[in-house]
Amino acid sequence: MVSNAMYPRILKRPAGSFFLFGLRGAGKSTWARAAFGGARRVDLLDEGVHHALLADPSLFAAELAGLRRGQWVVVDEVQRIPGLLNEAHRLIEERGLRFALLGSSARKLKTAGTNLLAGRAVWKTMFPLAPEELGDDFSLEEVLVHGSVPLVWSAADKRKALEAYVQLYLREEIRAEALVRNLPGFVRFLPVAALFHGQVVNVSGIARDAGTARTTVAGYLDILEDTLLATRLPAYEARLRVRERKHPKLYWVDPGLVRAVKRQLGPLAAEERGALFEGWVFTLLRTYAEERELYDEIFYWSPPGGSAAEVDFLLRRGREFLAIEAKSSPRFSSALTSGLRAVSGLGRLVRRILVFTGPRALTTAEGIEVWPVRRFLDALAAGELWP
């Protein structure tokens, strides 16, 4: 296994200023050091630098006074001092500097009054290591058990690293940034939310099980998204009637983090495998979304009337749709394609794919393509998911 620093990332360096967000330990700083070797660095994790700029943000411009037009400035953990974005905006406009603004949380930057550079910087996201990045080190079983967050993947003892990661998250992201008023309540919430990985979000159910108010749980879910640990996948709504609107599904960004938060880090249990595999496929789709222009929007699909025949992921690109079902089963059976058969009547549906862990590719009589994991990964890497 190579070190974290040696894994090439698929993220391409933008030509102009950009935000790069990703959960803590995703490798943002490592990537930026390789991509911007000669850039001026401002590390807000350095407490001396953080305290000085917090007391006097004008020092930021003074430190960059000698830079020439077009030079790069990398700011690490920019969310710690959102006010610096005002200075960055001015330096982009007046002096033509370019900024790589790295952060592990977008929460403080979304608050009212924060300068988000008025469209002068694109937003990028860094996810855990993808199989293409891991190369020969990739092991599906290892990823489902421990995940592929670089900070954990490169550790000598992945289990201990995952246990420590949860504490690091609570200490550095939640408590240090004062994101919640009631830390014990948030700690109770986390394992309950992990149980909903790959499921429709039931805020009332989570609140009941965590012993927390429903409105508080809604805020906690926002924090999970803002700190890049999880995301909510909306349902596809052909007709936007409010009374028929379906609830989103919750997906954590990494299998190892789901298991760590549940304090379930032993051998992989059979009942875990399906949701972990499905969530991993979703993270891969998100990973390749920007770099390969994979889709414009992504949903899950559920037929009217509450039928159980859902489709995990429905991708829209332009006016066309592509449906993907992810199953951890190593054996194909027609039961695995029930959702893909049910979605066949959707207009402009150009492809239906079942991704499974078996060895052989095939096409069913209904035109559903059954892909082993390797074929799916190759299609993502080549940008050939769409027909």
Tell me the pLDDT tens digit for each residue of 25-45: 999 999 999 999 889 999 999
Does the predicted TM-score (pTM) go above 0.85?
yes
**Per-residue pLDDT, 11:** 94
| Higher per-residue confidence, 302 vs 309 | 302
Residue 360, classed as helix, strand or coil, is coil
Residue 60 has pLDDT above 80, yes or no: yes
The Cβ of residue 283 has, within 10 Å, a number of other Cβ atoms equal to 21
For residue 378, what is the enclosing H or E element? helix 373-382
Give which of 175, 145, 177 is closest to 161, Cα–Cα: 145
Positive or negative: CA dihedral 221, 222, 225, 226: negative
Residue 119 has pLDDT above 80, yes or no: no
Q: Taking residues 280-287, what's their average pLDDT?
A: 98
> In the structure, what pLDDT confidence band is assigned to residue 2 with cuts at 50, 70 and 90?
very low
> In the structure, what pLDDT confidence band is assigned to residue 86 with cuts at 50, 70 and 90?
confident
Instruction: Let me know if domain 131-271 sits in CATH 1.10.3470.
Output: no
Residue 163, classed as helix, strand or coil, is helix
**Per-residue pLDDT, 1:** 43
Residue type at 247 in one-letter notation: H
CATH 1.10.10 residue window(s) in the chain: 131-271
Q: How far apart are CA 99 and CA 92, in angstroms?
A: 8
**Per-residue pLDDT, 111:** 64
Choose from 72-86, 117-131, 230-244 the range with maximum mean pLDDT.
72-86
**Per-residue pLDDT, 155:** 95
Compute CA distances 41 → 21, 75, 76, 116, 226, whole Å.
17, 6, 8, 20, 24
For residue 372, what is the enclosing H or E element? strand 369-372
Quote the DSSP letter at residue 147: -
Q: Taking residues 95-111, what's their average pLDDT?
A: 87
CATH 3.40.50.300 residue window(s) in the chain: 4-125
Range in 85-99, 109-123, 195-209 the model is least confident about = 109-123
Percentage of residues of the chain with pLDDT beyond 70: 93
Q: Taking residues 268-297, what's their average pLDDT?
A: 95
Q: Could you tell me the two tokens for 109?
A: 């930057």
**Per-residue pLDDT, 4:** 45
Q: Could you tell me the two tokens for 131?
A: 């199989």
Residue 239 has pLDDT above 70, yes or no: no
Compute CA distances 143 → 132, 252, 259, 265, 279, whole Å.
13, 14, 11, 12, 12
Q: How far apart are CA 303 and CA 280, in angstroms?
A: 24
Q: Classify domain 4-125 at the CATH superfamily level.
A: P-loop containing nucleotide triphosphate hydrolases (3.40.50.300)
Q: How far apart are CA 27 and CA 4, in angstroms?
A: 8
| Higher per-residue confidence, 123 vs 353 | 353
Quote the DSSP letter at residue 239: S
**Per-residue pLDDT, 290:** 81
Give which of 108, 127, 133, 110 is closest to 25, Cα–Cα: 127
Residue 265 has pLDDT above 70, yes or no: yes
> In the structure, what pLDDT confidence band is assigned to residue 363 with cuts at 50, 70 and 90?
very high
Residue 252 has pLDDT above 90, yes or no: yes
Q: Taking residues 71-92, what's their average pLDDT?
A: 92
For residue 190, what is the enclosing H or E element? helix 183-195
CB contact set of 331 (below 8 Å; sequence gap of 6+) = 358
The pLDDT mean for the chain works out to 91
Range in 62-76, 160-174, 193-207, 246-260 the model is least confident about = 160-174
Q: Taking residues 160-169, what's their average pLDDT?
A: 93
